[in-house]
Amino acid sequence: MEVIAFSILSTIVLISALCVILARNPVHSVLFLILAFFTSSGLLVLIGAEFLAMLLIVVYVGAVAVLFLFVVMMLDIDFAELKKQFLDYAPFGALVAFVFLAEIAIVAGTMGMERSASFDASPNAETNVEAIGQVMYTDYLLLFQISGVVLLIAMIGAIVLTLRHRPGVKRQSVEKQTGRTREEAIELKDVRPGQGI
């Protein structure tokens, strides 16, 4: 079963990696990239490296793919045209979702079986996730927190880079709000009885 699962997942990784390069639509490229990362994490689960699989999904799918989507947003793609073609993309999205669910089922089916290769990082830990967590949150806690701050700064930088000031969009100006006078803020109208403004 492991050989069959490995063959299926590795074929999906190769096909999705080729589609990342060959797709003309950058949104499709990002979706194929997410599929390649997700399938690679399935391969890591098959060899018993659960921590690396979670790390691949959290870091690459959760951070790098989002940054790629920010870059795609900076390319001035006509999103109104993409919204019109939403129903055309629905079968493609359903296919990708089906592949995700099939991969989860394949990996979950092989998890209960005996694995020929597994990593035993520590004799005291049941899984390699527990062993790495014990080391990371005791000996290397400061470095772990510093890396989290670096990732937070990178996320804020990506948001600032993609922020655009479009004409016609109302934005908050703190200087104008705090510096306005009573005459600018209030307008008195003399309303006659029985009539509206």
Confidence (pLDDT) at 146: 95
97 with 20: CB under 8 angstroms? no
* pLDDT range class, residue 152, cuts 50, 70, 90: very high
Q: What is the pLDDT of residues 39-77, one digit of tens each?
A: 888 888 888 788 888 888 888 877 777 777 677 666 666
The alpha carbon torsion through 171, 174, 180, 182 (nearest 10 deg) reads 90
Give the pLDDT confidence of 165-176 residue by residue, as tens digits: 777 777 788 888
List the one residue out of 46, 187, 30 whose CA is nearest residue 93: 30
Distance CA 195, CA 126 (A): 80
Question: What is the predicted pLDDT for the residue at 150?
Answer: 95
The mean pLDDT of 112-127, rounded to a whole number, is 55
Angle at 28 between CA 160 and CA 46, to 5 degrees: 100
Kindly report the average pLDDT of the chain as a whole number. Answer: 79
Confidence check: pLDDT of 120 > 60: no
Quick one: average pLDDT of 18-39? 84
Alpha-carbon 93 to chain mean position = 16
pLDDT for residue 116: 46
Mean pLDDT value of segment 20-36 = 83
Mean pLDDT across 3-11: 86
- With beta carbons less than 8 A apart as the criterion, state whether 61 and 96 touch: no
Going by pLDDT thresholds of 50, 70 and 90, the confidence category of residue 14 is very high
Statement: residue 117 has pLDDT above 50? no
Q: Has residue 153 got a pLDDT over 90?
A: yes
pLDDT above 70 coverage of the chain, percent: 82
Pick the CATH number of 1-119 from 3.40.190.10, 1.20.120.1200, 3.40.50.720, 3.30.70.1150: 1.20.120.1200
Tell me the pTM: 0.53
Q: Which two tokens stand for residue 72?
A: 């795609």
